[in-house]
Amino acid sequence: MRGSVLISGASVAGPALACWLGRCGFEVTVVEIAPALRSGGAAVDFRGDLHLAVLERMGVLADLQEVRTGGSPMTFVDERERPLLELPAEFAGGALEVLRGDLARVLHAHSADVAEYVFGDHVVDLRDTPDGVEVTFASGANRLFDLVIGADGVHSGVRRLAFGPEELFISHLGYYVATWDLPRYRELPPGSVGHNQPGRFISVGADRRDPGRAGAFAIFKSPRLDYDRHDVVRQRALIAQAFAGVGWEAPRLLAGLESADDLFFDSINRVDVESWSRGRIALLGDAACGATLGGMGTGAAVIAAYVLAGELVAANGDHRAAFARYEAKVRPYAQACQGGGGRTGKFLAPGRFGARARNAMLGNGFLLRQMLKMGEDLSTGIDLPDYDLTFVTGSGA
């Protein structure tokens, strides 16, 4: 056994890391605050050969291809639903698009036999000692781990406990985003159809899992808002206020907010942490270098998990060297990807003249192809070592 590792977060980065480390002989525990795997969520994508190569090395690519969505075309319309701009499936879907819930399920299935999963609990205290990290959980349990990895997202609890309060690391990028589900009340084209008003965008798309359901997506420009991230009633009110007076399908979509049981609401923000590790504790994925939307965070998280696992194996117990090499290799790539988060709000919810310019530019086939190529080029901006991640006999892999 190479040592014990606690991973906080069972979304994408955490299970990806658990998959590698568990197979290579580490004793891995994954703790997740949610009571079970989260089955909902919007589609996420992987772009370019590099992302697909890492998924194939992990052994999950074939399973993900079986549940691929085929991409999500987007149609922008005016108030009378006359098309203003149509974007192809690959614009948002990349080389491989899957629903976030399907991705979580596949990653969990490939790591559950080599890692312990603890749902409905979370870390409330960390003490980094010479012998390991003493961890206290909300359940009252106390355990000692050789290493702790915070893979618990933009609002990481591990980062808060070990590195400092959230406001030190998160920058508001000027927009808020929301998604929720509602009954399907009309026929919908493939992908999504949406409407712009200056600084606002709202859309609806068919639910691929349930023909009787639909999914709403909204984004609006706003300075930082004061609200409790766990106060769903307040979040619903903020969304309704932001889209008051918007025509098209907005009133019907907002009405669906009241019965939605899977509302996601957050600012579009950027995470910047000066160093991704402190002692025996390190950060991974969005907790280290995230962007709420548009930062290719899913692909970057899978890449980062592979590099962190590879460096921990190569370091043969020297976690400080492993963490330093992991960060040196991944940080420039992750920050380049992260830059897309600052452009997403301006693209989807521009001002009046910005919307006209966007529609004209992307209505040009040549310019659209160039933009797609830029996204693919960005996804290849890292040279991945060929780590010797040899599976340990008896690991169950």
pLDDT tens digit string along 42-58?
788 888 788 999 999 99
Which residue type is seen at 183? P
Q: What angle do CA 137, 141, 143 make, to 5 degrees?
A: 90
Residue 95's pLDDT is 78
Distance between CA 279 and CA 81 in Å, rounded? 56
Residue ranges of the domains in the chain? 4-71+93-170+270-345
**32, pLDDT greater than 70:** yes
Which residue type is seen at 385? P
Range scoring the smallest mean pLDDT among 40-49, 89-98, 142-151: 89-98
How close are the terminal C-alpha atoms of the chain, in Å?
15
% of the chain with per-residue pLDDT over 90: 65
Residue 396's pLDDT is 41
Q: In what order do the strands lie in the sheet with 83-87?
A: 83-87, 74-77, 192-197, 200-206, 213-221, 170-183, 264-271
What mean pLDDT comes out for the span 356-366? 78
How large is the C-alpha radius of gyration of the chain?
21
Residue 217: which of 205, 207, 232, 203 has the closest Cα?
A: 203
- Structurally, at CATH architecture level, domain 4-71+93-170+270-345 sits in 3-Layer(bba) Sandwich (3.50)
Residue 1's pLDDT is 62
The tokens for 294 are 């548009």
**340, pLDDT greater than 80:** no
Go through the chain and tell me how many residues it has.
397
Residue 341: which of 379, 294, 299, 378 has the closest Cα?
A: 294
Q: How many CB atoms lie within 10 A of CB 155?
A: 16
Residue 395's pLDDT is 44
Residue 47's pLDDT is 80
Which residue type is seen at 12? V
0.95 surpassed by pTM: no
Residue 41's pLDDT is 67
**222, pLDDT greater than 90:** yes
Residue 394's pLDDT is 42
**292, pLDDT greater than 80:** no
Distance between CA 94 and CA 375 in Å, rounded? 8
Which residue type is seen at 349? A
Q: Residues 6 or more apart from 235 whose CB is under 8 A from it?
A: 178, 227, 263, 265
Q: Residues 6 or more apart from 273 whose CB is under 8 A from it?
A: 159, 163, 169, 283, 287, 288, 289
Distance between CA 188 and CA 74 in Å, rounded? 12
Range scoring the smallest mean pLDDT among 20-34, 36-50, 216-230, 383-397: 383-397
Whether residue 200 contacts residue 211, with contact meaning beta carbons closer than 8 Å, is answered with no
The tokens for 253 are 């979509």
Residue 342's pLDDT is 76
DSSP label at residue 119: E
Which residue type is seen at 69? T
Alpha helices in 94-163, H assignment, sequence order:
100-111, 157-162
Distance between CA 257 and CA 273 in Å, rounded? 35
Q: What backbone torsions phi and psi does residue 118 show, to the nearest 5 degrees?
A: -120, 110
